[in-house]
Structure 1
Amino acid sequence: MSRGQILDEDISASSQWSDSTAAKYGRLDCEEGDGAWCPEIAGEPENINEFLQIDLRSLHFITLVGTQGRHAGGIGNEFAQTYKIKYSRDGSRWISWRNRQGKEVIEANRNAYDIVLKDLEPPIIARFIRFMPVIDHSMNVCMRVELYGCEWLDGLVSYNSPVGQQMTLNGQYIYLNDSVYDGAMSNSMTEGLGQLTDGMCGLDDFTHSHVYNVWPGYDYVGWTNESFSNGYVEIMFEFDRTRNFTTMKVHCNNMFSRRVKTFQKVVCYFRSESDWEATPISFSPVMDDVNPSARFVTVSLYNHMASAIKCQYYFSDIWMMFSEITFQSGDDPTHKVDDSNTRILIGCLVAIIFILVAIIVIILWRQVWQKMLEKVSRRMLDDELTASLSIQSETFTYNNNSPSSVPSEQETSSTYERIFPLGPDYQEPSRLVRKLPEFSQTSEDTASTNTSSKSPPVSVQEGVPHYAEADIVNLQGVTGGNTYAVPALTMDLLSGKDVAVEEFPRKLLTFKEKLGEGQFGEVSSQIKNNSLHL
């Protein structure tokens, strides 16, 4: 309960005082909600049957329980002083727990915060457990509970057998009945479990017991052959489902000096569906007339598949006494476990995988399609640029013979038609380099001076060095156009002339300021020492 192994939906109650005191808050040592489960008490105490119910989902062997009141950080003071326990293996037939002396009421808490543990003797084999506080008018009741035990691996839900009998030994009565059997009892015991499954093996001397303050013979269930004309005792065992049985172990008393021995032979029949198998198995243990100690007799069941077993134990002396019977079994390999949740989980995983695969395919398809579009766009751009540049190079002329030969601003500002968007990828600049137009070489002209009229445009002389003036050239790039003042020396370089540039000694320069830096180094302004000669 406190560890959360039992889910909230497996905890229920007959009533609740409020939503904050619901059944799910009845976990030991838990302070959630208002700190505990509190029932809504109405009516007379003797007619009240409030309970907190726990569904363990399968049969469990419960040996210890714990209870606690509602402390709620010091503001609560409700607890149960006594309570009862009811249990069920099928959810329909409820059984009141009693200790080995037959007492039902269990002493519980004396304050709201201490944990009180109670050993269950005999232990409970059940799936459903109910805690039922004993209520009076003196105080309100709240509970937090815990269960301690393990899963019941035997799978045995009931055994049917003749009732145990009474022996007289040296004037003393030895009661060999099943005192904790929780089924119906008359001439036989049906639909219940008892001392043969309580986990306690009897002593060598059957007149003594592990349990304090009980009658002689308490640990054993025994029969005399005088009551069975056929010479055997028949016990039928019912299980929760069809199982694959390997062995059966029977703890027997062998105090042969008191005419008590282990069984001489056992014959077992198996039922898997509705009919008993026609062929039983038989086993005869080795009889021991030397060692009087009690012992387990192991019977091989040869992996028989069954949901019920009926065994006939034959007498080898006057008395036969059993204290414990256990079965070892595995699951039926043909048994289909309810895997609906597993199927749902697998279906969800498959759907998620398909969605992820579809997303990946769409992404890859878009990338491939985008690359194809880029290739087509580049090819179209190359074709248009080639055609445009060819036309411009053919119509671009440079004539210095007349003023009309000077190209207009519109002609020198021609651009690259259109730039197609190429997506996020970077366009290689090398693919868009414009070829500079070739200039026609003309003879040198001489300008004449006329004071009575305006001077005509001055023609450009070839080979004349420029110092204070620069040709204005409109350079068009991929990202737009810019107008730069290009020195004549640069124009000579661009026009293809061979110009020898003399290297100036750096030791004659004095650093003035840094202009910037780029991919090919640093650009700075420097002054020549002494005087400036050009």
Structure 2
Amino acid sequence: MKARARFDMNHLWKITFPLAFLLYNSGNVKSQVNPSVCRSPLGMSGRQILDEDISASSQWSESTAAKYGRLDSEEGDGAWCPESTAEPENMNEFLQIDLRSLQFITLVGTQGRHAGGIGNEFAQTYKIKYSRDGSRWISWRNRQGKEVIEGNRNAYDIVLKDLEPPIIARFVRFMPIIDHSMNVCMRVELYGCEWLDGLVSYNAPLGQKMILHDQEVYLNDSVYDGAILRGMTEGLGQLTDGMCGLDDFTLSHVYNVWPGYDYVGWTNESFSNGYVEIMFEFDRTRNFTTMKVHCNNMFSQRVKVFQKVVCYFRSDLDWEPTPVSFIPVMDDVNPSARFVIVPLNNHMASAIKCQYYFSDRWMMFSEITFQSDTAMYNTTLAPPNTSVTLNTSTEKNPYHKVDDSNTRILIGCLVAIIFILVAIIVIILWRQVWQKVLEKVSRRMLDDELTASLSIQSEAFSCNNNLTSSAASEQESSSAYERIFPLGADYQEPSRLVRKLPDVSQVSEDSASKASQSSTQEGVPHYAEADIVNLQGVTGGNTYAVPAVTMDLLSGKDIPIEEFPRKLLTFKEKLGEGQFGEVHLCEAEDMEEFMDEDFPFDVTDNQTVLVAVKMLRADANKNARNDFLKEIKIMSRLKDPNIIRLLGVCMSSDPLCMITEYMENGDLNQFLSRHEPEGVIALLSNAPTVSYSNLQHMATQIASGMKYLSSLNFVHRDLATRNCLVGKNYTIKIADFGMSRNLYSGDYYRIQGRAVLPIRWMSWESILLGKFTTASDVWAFGVTLWETLTFCKEQPYSQLSDEQVIENTGEFFRDQRRQIYLPQPAMCPDPIYKLMLSCWQRNAKERPSFLEIHRIMLENTP
């Protein structure tokens, strides 16, 4: 007990002391922008943007003025409507928004004029222009160079569009494309976050082309929005888009682009002085602490981190004579790309010029960010039109006055914070001392209860092969979250969610009474609601939840799994990571020699194949190691054409590895998001297309794979397009490592900073009661089908915040017809949307089984 208390004290001090330090330095340190989480509304719908900051080229009337162009608002006549009906080639109408400061904008939303059913005007397509200074306007283009953005199809739905690449701007103009077929009106919103770097442009040499194994690798800055002549001037581009390049620079986060897309690179053969010079211009004088440069280090291709960097600073008109130099540690062992943090020693500047020296033939950057604080000015003793920065020497400037009042205030706040934290620690430790004894007893009882439950359930279901559970099991499955997940760490403290929801105190009682009633009905229920055993999973992500009834699979005779030689695996990139391990994308040689005879493996001799390798870290605890071995046993028994197969293992030495299939087209979410439905828009943009029949074919395969899992009583718990992989001829295989990928961190509701719950795909009973069953997987299938038919262009319930999604589950529980359903996708036939709605039935027993879903999908195949 005392030892545990000491551990908790040390742990809390490790948390609280950096917190106090962070609060003290919060004015000096700014975080790098993250496009996946930088998606907050900037104030059109919430009215943080004032009316005077919204203007337009023209308007129908006063009641359709620019100030009425706020998303999801019906003020005035319901929207902004321009006066002109010009031809598209003469497009000059715009709705302009002044954000008052530079913002990093990742998403835009548009809506037409509905006006309570009176209006029916909307923009089917539009363009965006933006400016950082209000004078030079830039036309936004996507990564393929397309300017036109697909807009609305009716007057009331909100259509959200990701801006890839994102834009950094203060002024934004929405420019509807107008034709004679209809008038247009618009309501808009911008989403993003404040651009803390303050960088307004960088000037750099043009990126160059590399010839690598007869392949052309283009390392130019393809989204740079400044002037491009002999060099790049007065613009921003890929070095500030928030996307860090992969370890292998020939691959890319963004598909349908050329090799090298994520990086800007140069060869030393073009620079006789041995360095590349980049100048950075900022919005105002700032106090710079660090510069972070994301560099490639694929030394096998003669690409390395810079050998040295020398930075000069300009605060007024002249450059300071004394630069800052920094030499990073060279790494010839690890080829991973990495951030190099360069200390800038609190220099005051409005511009920085850095010279990056080559350490090998090539040097490649994908991101450069700055941490700074805006310079403070003191004009108390200064004459008119004179401003003095805080770090100017008093000997050089007689008007300078040192004002330490801010320092005294910060020190006082810091002391107060420390006292408050100490008091909190004392209270927490006092509560823990009393709770530890009870928790220790509870844990012992819970472990014994779980072991006994597995044994009892196995015996009970070996005698009666149905999916119902005993009364005790029903009571367990309806209990609080903490009892539902005794072994898992991916779902922690969700009881806090229940506290946020109104009127759910009777949920468990109501559910228990319904379960009691259903147990008296004739026939066998469709869904397993027995205790489930959560395996943590090597990456902290989801693995299949195994009901107690199927735990006899784990105690049976082991299926022999071939030991695969590690030397035949070649690392390509890291797909994801978690608390106990990582998932790597690798190339495997001679894999066909290790495959079962019944496994259809379309690989010729001496051909490498892509595989996903789950690797357990050497420092993983005993529970994680046991979970890893159990996961191997489970995966070895899954043999279905639409489920990812276990191909081999590396168990002879640490780190332990399991090797699974990986499909060449990646996951379904990314695959569909870079395609378009067949139609005029796809023809104009020359984008790759997927037909509806192929969408239907892929969704049917997902239903088939889930039919197989449900037949084994396995519950997936995280079915979504991000967990479906795409192969040749639109082949689909269901996987389980989407949660471990940073790309999809925004799909999971965070508690205490961790990704824990995919609430937008979860049934109401999973969120409120912690019940994960085949029925909750059916709910998730409905959402996955919706994603597929919308080409994954937006998140489910994208118009709702996470908290509103949780509140919506409360409406499903209360069942007063106020719950919000996902809308019918544009290319979704009525029978398929009817199937979706049946997957979202309030009563889990009324949802179709996967056998029925698969049959319906086949019957509706075009």
The answer, yes or no, to whether TM exceeds 0.5 is yes
- AA aligned to 1:294 is A
Structure 1 SS opposite 2:76: coil
| 1:293 match | 336
Structure 2 SS opposite 1:125: strand
Structure 1 SS opposite 2:189: strand
| 1:145 match | 188
Q: Which protein is richer in helix relative to its size?
A: 2
* CA offset digits 1:90-131 (Å, max 9, x no partner): 000000000000000000000000000000000010000000
Q: Structure 1 residues 8 and 186 mapped into 2: Cα distance closer, same or farther (>3 Å)?
A: same
Post-superposition offset of 1:41: 1.1
| 1:236 match | 279
The answer to whether the Cα contact below 8 Å between 1:41 and 1:48 also exists between their aligned partners in 2 is no
1:83 matched to 2:146: no
Q: How does 1:68-467 map to 2 (within 5 A)?
A: 68-334=111-377
The answer to whether the Cα contact below 8 Å between 2:86 and 2:178 also exists between their aligned partners in 1 is no
The answer to whether the Cα contact below 8 Å between 1:221 and 1:321 also exists between their aligned partners in 2 is yes
The answer to whether the Cα contact below 8 Å between 1:268 and 1:311 also exists between their aligned partners in 2 is yes
1:11 matched to 2:54: yes
Q: Distance in 1 between matches of 2:121 and 2:302?
A: 57
Structure 2 SS opposite 1:196: helix
Q: Distance in 2 between matches of 1:212 and 1:70?
A: 35
Q: Distance in 2 between matches of 1:43 and 1:121?
A: 28
1:40 matched to 2:83: yes
The answer to whether the Cα contact below 8 Å between 2:204 and 2:232 also exists between their aligned partners in 1 is yes
Structure 1 SS opposite 2:330: coil
Q: Distance in 2 between matches of 1:130 and 1:65?
A: 11
Structure 2 SS opposite 1:178: coil
Post-superposition offset of 1:43: 4.6
The answer to whether the Cα contact below 8 Å between 1:14 and 1:50 also exists between their aligned partners in 2 is yes
Structure 2 SS opposite 1:92: coil
The answer to whether the Cα contact below 8 Å between 2:85 and 2:179 also exists between their aligned partners in 1 is no
Structure 2 SS opposite 1:65: strand
Post-superposition offset of 1:331: 1.7
Q: Distance in 2 between matches of 1:266 and 1:49?
A: 46
Post-superposition offset of 1:47: 1.8
The answer to whether the Cα contact below 8 Å between 1:242 and 1:331 also exists between their aligned partners in 2 is yes
Q: Which protein is richer in strand relative to its size?
A: 1
- AA aligned to 1:176 is L
Q: Distance in 2 between matches of 1:44 and 1:125?
A: 30
Q: Distance in 1 between matches of 2:355 and 2:367?
A: 16
Post-superposition offset of 1:212: 1.2
The answer to whether the Cα contact below 8 Å between 2:87 and 2:178 also exists between their aligned partners in 1 is no
Q: Structure 1 residues 141 and 322 mapped into 2: Cα distance closer, same or farther (>3 Å)?
A: same
Q: Distance in 1 between matches of 2:114 and 2:72?
A: 10
Q: Distance in 2 between matches of 1:266 and 1:26?
A: 48
| 1:63 match | 106
Post-superposition offset of 1:236: 0.2
Consecutive unaligned residues of structure 2, counting only runs of 5 or more, are 1-43, 381-862
- AA aligned to 1:49 is N
- AA aligned to 2:301 is R
Q: Distance in 1 between matches of 2:96 and 2:375?
A: 31
Structure 2 SS opposite 1:73: helix
Q: Distance in 2 between matches of 1:336 and 1:323?
A: 40
Q: Distance in 2 between matches of 1:13 and 1:247?
A: 40
Post-superposition offset of 1:45: 4.1
The answer to whether the Cα contact below 8 Å between 1:66 and 1:116 also exists between their aligned partners in 2 is yes
Q: Structure 1 residues 42 and 336 mapped into 2: Cα distance closer, same or farther (>3 Å)?
A: farther
Q: Structure 1 residues 19 and 336 mapped into 2: Cα distance closer, same or farther (>3 Å)?
A: farther
Q: Distance in 1 between matches of 2:122 and 2:361?
A: 54
| Equivalences, count | 337
Q: Distance in 1 between matches of 2:254 and 2:182?
A: 36
Q: Structure 1 residues 62 and 335 mapped into 2: Cα distance closer, same or farther (>3 Å)?
A: farther
- AA aligned to 2:153 is R
Q: Distance in 2 between matches of 1:168 and 1:247?
A: 34
- The normalised TM-score by structure 1 is 0.62
| 2:23 match | none
Q: Distance in 1 between matches of 2:126 and 2:88?
A: 13
Structure 2 SS opposite 1:237: strand
RMSD (Å), alpha carbons: 1.1
Q: Distance in 2 between matches of 1:31 and 1:213?
A: 40
* CA offset digits 1:7-39 (Å, max 9, x no partner): 000000000000000000000000000000000
* CA offset digits 1:435-469 (Å, max 9, x no partner): xxxxxxxxxxxxxxxxxxxxxxxxxxxxxxxxxxx
Post-superposition offset of 1:187: 1.3
| 1:353 match | none
Q: Distance in 2 between matches of 1:22 and 1:190?
A: 37
* CA offset digits 1:127-172 (Å, max 9, x no partner): 0000000000000000000000111000000000000000000000
Post-superposition offset of 1:334: 2.2
Post-superposition offset of 1:261: 0.2
Structure 2 SS opposite 1:78: coil
Greater gyration radius? 1
